[in-house]
Amino acid sequence: DLEVPRETRNEIAVLKGLAAVYVMTARDRRPVYIQQREMLYDLVEALRKRAPDALEPPFQADWELARDDAARLRVLVDQVASLTDAS
């Protein structure tokens, strides 16, 4: 197994992100991405207003255990992300 130092892994992640944004993303798709991002923000906000009742049971438990707003936001984002998880 090849061991890659953390600093190198971080640099690779940044470069991949830059390539995705500036090279692989077509400019004509950006308005669609903006609309999709706004839709996700709206979904998270709707869940936040109705939490924990609007969350799936595993996420309700996580919500109850969350100690602060950052942790609760993570629960909301995890719930939204799970909506597209095929596993």
Question: Per residue in 12-71, pLDDT tens?
Answer: 999 999 888 877 777 778 888 899 999 999 999 999 999 999 999 999 999 999 999 999
Query: What distance in Å separates the CA atoms of residue 47 and residue 57, rounded to the nearest whole number?
Result: 13
Q: Note whether residue 71 is domain-resident.
A: yes
Q: Note whether residue 59 is domain-resident.
A: yes
Asked if residue 87 has pLDDT above 80, the reply is no
- Is the pTM higher than 0.75? no
pLDDT at residue number 28: 79
Q: Note whether residue 66 is domain-resident.
A: yes
Q: Note whether residue 1 is domain-resident.
A: no
Q: Which domain holds residue 39?
A: 6-82
Number of structural domains the chain divides into:
1
Sequence-separated (6 or more) residues with CB below 8 Å from residue 73: 44, 48
Query: What distance in Å separates the CA atoms of residue 72 and residue 74, rounded to the nearest whole number?
Result: 5
Q: Note whether residue 57 is domain-resident.
A: yes
